[in-house]
Structure 1
Amino acid sequence: MVKGTAKKASNIFVWIILGLLMIALTGFGITSFSGSASQVGSVGSARITANDYARALQREISAQVAQTGRPVNLNQLTAQGLDRAVLDGLIARAALANETREMGLSIGDLEVARQIRETSGFATPEGGFDRAAYEFALRETGLTPAEFEQNVREDVARSLLQIAVVGGVQAPELFAETLTAYQTETRDFSVLRVTEAQLPTGLAAPSEDDLQAEYAANEAQFMRPEMRAVTYAWVRPSMIMDDMEIDEQALRDLYEERAELYNQPERRLLERLVYPSLEEAEAARASLDAGEASYDDLVAARGLTLEDVDMGEVAAPDLSGAAAEAVFGTEEQEIIGPVESAFGPAIFRVNAVLDATQVPFEEAEEDLSAELAAEAARRAIDDIRGDVDDLLAGGATLEELAGDTLMELGTIEWSPGSDEGIAGYDAFREAAAAAREGDFPELLELSDGGLFAIRLDEVIPPALPPLDEIRDEVAESWLARHRREQLAAHAQELVGRLTRGTALEDLGPAVTQEVQIRRQDFIPDMPPTLVSQIFQLDSPGDTAVIPGADFAVIARLDEINSGTRGSPGAEALLALVSEQVRQSIAQDVFESFGQALEADVGISLSPSVINAVHAQFP
């Protein structure tokens, strides 16, 4: 049993090593270290080489690139403290390697060879060992076979030591059960909404002093962000399409091309259930007519799904003669058949009847004209692209572009989040954000085939508008806060009546009940903190007031339901929690073991070699 466990763990470590090899040092030109500059440090007799450290740093850089999708360099790792984390990981590995040596824990050459031969990354298509692939992978990562094989030996030994240290760790049964009971507990409670209509005096309009106080207390809320004053020249197909001349013959030709779209025969939304023989189909129809089975039951009995039998929209020509006549010969029957189809006896179900459509040219002409006009406008815009580029290259201003071409001039005070007019286009927003004062205008494309060029005139710093300019906004803010406060205060008054014996149901209209609510549940149209506050109540009958923007809530705890014991769901959760707790304890135990080893034998580091490794990275 121990041997089997050790093999499984060692295989895992070989895979880890192989995975790390595939990403280490590729394409970064990290040189090998030798001589006196070859050792970053040591823990006892276990050495941490400069090459080990360089490879570990490169693995971390590669992982960061994969995670963020952006280039990452060593300076960025250092700023986040990740270089130290990488080194700490190597120190921990070295401490374990030193301990395995002290204990005499190792594996033989035959086991190392078996581990490598059984690694699929080094296998031939026939399943044998590919020596060339093995040596190529090691060569790409700067390792010799001897170094890699020693790594395999040490990692398997470390895995055996880890199994010995934490293999017997188990989660305390009471602890796991307590966590599971906490997670599976549910609560029943009643909810009463307190709305503005229930306020005894209603909400008064804010006075001038109220507005002044609101304005002064919330300057950050009313502050306008940095704005960019932008002048732009642009042209879109929709701006010039009305000026495009459309040939009537072209319209008629397009109508003819779309004939199948404008003139469609009657269609049915059909499902077809095919049987091997007519006798089986007739027996199925008999059970259907007798009410012994539904069409869905028949589909399931054939081992099919509704998706398997769905034919979508079907016209009469799409079916064979007998089937077409049967299906399209009636508008009353939902179930048709059995009837012979192209695939054998079948029972059809009609889900909908789509009437034939005939759209004459005169009705379609407006849409067709708009389509051709838009295409012509896009071509016209494309035709002026070269002239506009030449004008801009010659120093023409945007104002001159608007005077000499199809483009129109406009201005906008833009800030991130603006989406009106030209700011509705991603390309404009990106250009406006990147523009600098003094930049020469550049011709850019819009997503609908339009063109534009911009000029940044001024960067307007963030500013607080005068109260008179945003009076309505300040009033709305005051009313929202005042409403929330008044609703919460009135709800607290009602709770006071509860303590004097009034029932919750007598305090207002429509008390609602929520049952079997879990800690992680969310109740729509209720304050988001409602459930969490219910679980903070101690006993049935306790109440809580939860303020909201448009109403406050009085919630009364009615029942605390202990987690269900013995159900498959609860047992599965208990097993999951037990395993998570076991893994957490095992991790803590092993980390403590490693720290004790480091403290026992001592750590030696060479700052000069560490700096030399860092200097090799771009």
Structure 2
Amino acid sequence: MAKDSEDTPRKKGKGNQIVVWVLMAMLVVGLGGFGVTNFGGGLTSIGRVGDREIDTNTYARALQQELSALSAQFGRNIPLSQAQSLGIDRQVLQTLVAQTALDNEAARVRLSVGDAVVAQTITNSPAFQGTAGRFDRDTYRFTLSRNNLTESAYEATLRADLARQLLTGAVAGGFVAPAPLTDTLYDWVGERRGFSLLRLTEEDLAAPLPEPGEEALTAFYEANLDRFTAPEAKRIRYAALLPDAIAADQPVDEATLRRMYDARIADFVQPERRLVERLVYPSAEAAAEAMARIEAGEAFETLVAERGLDLEDIDLGDVSREELGAAADAVFALEEPGVVGPFDSTLGPALFRMNAILAAQEIDFDAARPDLAIEIQADAARRVIAGRVEAIDDMLAGGSTLEEVAAEQGMTIDTVDYVAAQSAPEGIAAYPAFRTAADNLAEGDFPQAVLLADGGVVAMEFVEVVPAAPIPFETVRDDVLAAYTADATAKALAERAVEVKAAVEAGASLGAYGIVQRTANIAREGFVEDAPPALMQAVFAMSPGDLRVIEGPEFIGVVRLDEIRPAAQEGEDVAAIKASIAAQVEQALAQDALQLFSSALTEEAGIYLDQSAINAVHAQFN
């Protein structure tokens, strides 16, 4: 690492230090996951901005970093082809082009940082600290070597990044949110509404809807084929061995059953219990006075509130006689809910309210035996399957077909049309491990044993892609009827809502058509349970007295705006919200300025991209 420098590192503000550490973290993280020696020969750049080249390995590492982040987000490996469909490669390229434009400008104006700044940044980085918690040169060299980087190359990259930070700080720093803009945004955010909502249901229709005939259902089916079409699927043949399939064949030892029953006797034999609340007082006199008030008709809840407590604070749950101590006899003597006391407790004198009697419960061995046997057999089945996994793997590795493996190992052969996006998969596809393997299964893959969460095992092979196709009407007739009825009901309710709106506008009372839900004071980001987002969008676009029909999934209603409440202008929250808005405005202004500056630099300097070099990088990910 270079030592000589005429520059003395100046003390940075906290904000700048944070930016530097974020920068260092990005650099170190970006080093991992992709060997920079993958690109040899003359393939050193994928293009340039002005006189500044876009390094091939920098692009590769940035792309790998985005793929890793995307894979972590989805919980599975995301191939480059899928990332490209999401535009990830273009985003990475755009970011590097903007950075290179800034680097080019920094070089043009001779903006840089001294060796001392680079040295201080490196030595302060946690990534290069040894076991003593200080910078360690061996750790520094090892980290760079592991990622195929030389010290000079890394330090040059860091120097450029720090210089770019100075340039972007000069461009994006110092913005102050205009007070009128902040106030206007606050007034918009802080406004609240009061409104009345009438929900309409099928009971509000003048007459029940007629039952549709077969012709109507068929016409509806044909007009909405997209709703009754099976999606493209991956047909998979699989061999499975599940605990449920062999559990019933596993032997059960009576002595083991008896030991399990005795070990869990508390689960099967429970004494009589009570649901009890305990209200503790600081002295016996105070508790006795409270009991006298109860006997005089005072509500127990009133005493609880006077103690500054809620009912959940004093709830003991269901308790046995042994758990109640001195109050046990009195509590268990009650034949109906009531209050007794005061009695001493571990927390002091207390009143006890009994709310319910839970009768004693006893499940004898013969009654418990079937459940215990199922548990033992399921555990034995899992052990049997675990003992066959290696043999299944060996047979598959040796070239045996699924049918041969199934016959030898007692597995079941079946086929499933697997759809990755199924919201509620059933059968074998309900296992997460099966879905993960099925997602990655491709034509030509050899079957492998996949362990399932319940101890089962499955092996699968790709058969074919089943194209999307309409499901026969006879198969989905019930679904067609349900969809037809839902659509017809929604249409009829929408028409009824229009009638109600017109009647109310003509002078009728909204409450004359049903129960009206009144919301007196709701913020712009608030919500009404079971109502669509369109409701809040509507009430904040209406004037007082306006009525609107609101439609959404399984929702039809008529809303009237009763009141517009301006944003509060006093209070601690007001200052905090305005400060937050101002910070967001300043950040947006800074980002816009930096984007415009980068775009202008790029346009002025000119861009050249080598698509063949970019394709070569992409090829390394396949």
TM-score (norm 2): 0.72
Shift of 1:543: 0.8
In structure 1, the residue corresponding to 2:527 is in which secondary structure?
Answer: coil
Match of 2:535 among 522, 530, 535: 530
Say if 1:96 and 1:111 are closer, same or farther in 2 by CA, change over 3 A. same
**Matches of 1:260 and 1:272, distance apart in 2:** 25
Deviations 1:81-109 (A, max 9, x none): 54454444344334334444454544443
Say if 1:232 and 1:69 are closer, same or farther in 2 by CA, change over 3 A. closer
Deviations 1:468-495 (A, max 9, x none): 6655543433332222222222222232
Match of 1:375 in 2: 376
Contact 1:234 1:409 in 2 (8 A): no
Match of 2:585 among 561, 581, 589: 581
**Matches of 1:462 and 1:602, distance apart in 2:** 47
Say if 1:288 and 1:580 are closer, same or farther in 2 by CA, change over 3 A. farther
**Matches of 1:459 and 1:503, distance apart in 2:** 59
Quick one: which amino acid aligns to residue 580 of structure 1? Answer: Q
Say if 1:443 and 1:578 are closer, same or farther in 2 by CA, change over 3 A. closer
Q: How does 1:207-606 map to 2 (within 5 A)?
A: 207-224=213-230, 237=244, 241=248, 251-263=257-269, 326=326, 328=328, 330-331=330-331, 333=340, 336-337=343-344, 357=360, 359=362, 363-372=364-373, 375-376=376-377, 379=380, 464=470, 467=473, 471-506=477-512, 508-537=513-542, 539-547=543-551, 552-603=556-607
- The alignment yields a C-alpha RMSD, in angstroms, of 5.5
Shift of 1:587: 0.8
Say if 1:571 and 1:450 are closer, same or farther in 2 by CA, change over 3 A. same
Contact 1:284 1:298 in 2 (8 A): no
1:139 counterpart = 2:140 = no
**Matches of 1:47 and 1:452, distance apart in 2:** 51
Deviations 1:351-380 (A, max 9, x none): 8799795737xx331222442255247647
Deviations 1:389-409 (A, max 9, x none): 7999999979x97xx999999
Say if 1:590 and 1:316 are closer, same or farther in 2 by CA, change over 3 A. same
Match of 1:158 in 2: 164
Residue identity over aligned pairs, in percent, reads: 35
Once structures 1 and 2 are overlaid, which stretch shifts more, 5-14 or 175-184? Answer: 5-14
Contact 1:186 1:516 in 2 (8 A): yes
**Matches of 1:423 and 1:154, distance apart in 2:** 51
**Matches of 1:124 and 1:381, distance apart in 2:** 46
Shift of 1:589: 0.7
Shift of 1:245: 7.5
Deviations 1:135-168 (A, max 9, x none): 3333333444344444444433333333332322
Shift of 1:607: 6.4
Give unmatched runs, 5+ long, in structure 2: 1-8, 291-301, 332-338
Deviations 1:181-235 (A, max 9, x none): 2222222122223444443444223245433432331222234567979899988
Once structures 1 and 2 are overlaid, which stretch shifts more, 49-58 or 413-422? Answer: 413-422
Say if 1:240 and 1:607 are closer, same or farther in 2 by CA, change over 3 A. closer
Say if 1:261 and 1:350 are closer, same or farther in 2 by CA, change over 3 A. farther
Contact 2:192 2:566 in 1 (8 A): yes
Shift of 1:576: 1.5
Say if 1:142 and 1:334 are closer, same or farther in 2 by CA, change over 3 A. farther
**Matches of 1:50 and 1:335, distance apart in 2:** 81
Contact 1:266 1:357 in 2 (8 A): yes
Shift of 1:562: 1.6
Say if 1:134 and 1:350 are closer, same or farther in 2 by CA, change over 3 A. farther
**Matches of 1:184 and 1:127, distance apart in 2:** 48
In structure 1, the residue corresponding to 2:344 is in which secondary structure?
Answer: strand
Contact 1:519 1:531 in 2 (8 A): yes
Contact 1:171 1:578 in 2 (8 A): yes
**Matches of 2:169 and 2:159, distance apart in 1:** 16
In structure 2, the residue corresponding to 1:554 is in which secondary structure?
Answer: strand
Deviations 1:280-335 (A, max 9, x none): x99666666667x98999999xxxxx99x9999887889xxxxx864656537566
Shift of 1:527: 4.6
Contact 1:262 1:357 in 2 (8 A): no
Once structures 1 and 2 are overlaid, which stretch shifts more, 547-556 or 156-165? Answer: 547-556
Quick one: which amino acid aligns to residue 599 of structure 1? Answer: E
**Matches of 1:599 and 1:426, distance apart in 2:** 49
**Matches of 2:462 and 2:155, distance apart in 1:** 62
**Matches of 1:378 and 1:470, distance apart in 2:** 40
Shift of 1:591: 1.8
Contact 1:100 1:157 in 2 (8 A): yes
Contact 1:263 1:359 in 2 (8 A): yes
Q: How does 1:185-224 map to 2 (within 5 A)?
A: 185-224=191-230
Shift of 1:429: 7.8
Give unmatched runs, 5+ long, in structure 1: 274-280, 301-305, 319-323, 340-344
**Matches of 2:368 and 2:555, distance apart in 1:** 49
Shift of 1:588: 0.9
Match of 2:6 in 1: none
Say if 1:488 and 1:156 are closer, same or farther in 2 by CA, change over 3 A. same
In structure 2, the residue corresponding to 1:582 is in which secondary structure?
Answer: helix
**Matches of 1:450 and 1:540, distance apart in 2:** 63
Contact 2:35 2:148 in 1 (8 A): no
**Matches of 2:517 and 2:440, distance apart in 1:** 54
Match of 2:336 in 1: none
**Matches of 1:545 and 1:194, distance apart in 2:** 10
Once structures 1 and 2 are overlaid, which stretch shifts more, 227-236 or 86-95? Answer: 227-236
Say if 1:53 and 1:490 are closer, same or farther in 2 by CA, change over 3 A. closer
**Matches of 1:495 and 1:509, distance apart in 2:** 13
Say if 1:74 and 1:247 are closer, same or farther in 2 by CA, change over 3 A. closer
**Matches of 1:165 and 1:417, distance apart in 2:** 48
**Matches of 1:298 and 1:113, distance apart in 2:** 63
In structure 2, the residue corresponding to 1:529 is in which secondary structure?
Answer: helix
Q: How does 1:168-187 map to 2 (within 5 A)?
A: 168-187=174-193
In structure 2, the residue corresponding to 1:516 is in which secondary structure?
Answer: strand
Shift of 1:585: 1.0
Say if 1:162 and 1:413 are closer, same or farther in 2 by CA, change over 3 A. closer
Deviations 1:57-96 (A, max 9, x none): 4444444444445446666666655445444434433433
**Matches of 2:609 and 2:466, distance apart in 1:** 54
1:121 counterpart = 2:127 = yes
